[in-house]
């Protein structure tokens, strides 16, 4: 029997997926190609305009950043000719 997800877990899951989506679109970089942390906060807020008071926003933001970073790692590996696990393509 599966246990029911809490509101925090659902929000974290959605934030993680939104972070991946933003990275796939190439969002969150400055014009010089560096990470733009202020933009990350803006993109997170755009995806989660209404976060209820019983959800920890900082935890959801950390999940968003983790999703962004994981997708960045995956794209970097693919660009280098490797699967994310390290095997060559």
44 contacts 15 by C-beta, under 8 angstroms: yes
Q: Residue 72 phi/psi, 5° resolution?
A: -65, -45
Q: Give the pLDDT band of residue 9 (cuts 50, 70, 90).
A: very high
Task: Kindly report, residue by residue over 73-82, the tens digit of the pLDDT.
Answer: 998 888 888 8
Predicted model pTM: 0.82
Q: Which of 7-11, 46-50, 77-81 has the lowest mean pLDDT?
A: 46-50
Check residue 13 and give its pLDDT: 93
Q: Give the Cα separation of 87 and 77 in Å (integer).
A: 10
Q: Would you place residue 63 in the very low, low, confident or very high pLDDT band (cuts 50, 70, 90)?
A: very high
């Amino acid at each position: 029997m599966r246990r029911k997800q809490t509101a925090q877990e659902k929000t974290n899951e959605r934030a993680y997926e939104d972070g991946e989506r933003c990275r796939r679109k190439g969002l969150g970089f400055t014009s010089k190609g560096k990470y733009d942390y202020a933009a990350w906060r803006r993109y997170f807020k755009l995806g989660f305009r209404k976060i209820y008071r019983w959800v920890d926003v900082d935890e959801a933001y950390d999940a968003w950043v983790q999703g962004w970073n994981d997708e960045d790692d995956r794209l970097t590996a693919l660009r280098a000719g490797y699967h994310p696990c390290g095997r060559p393509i």
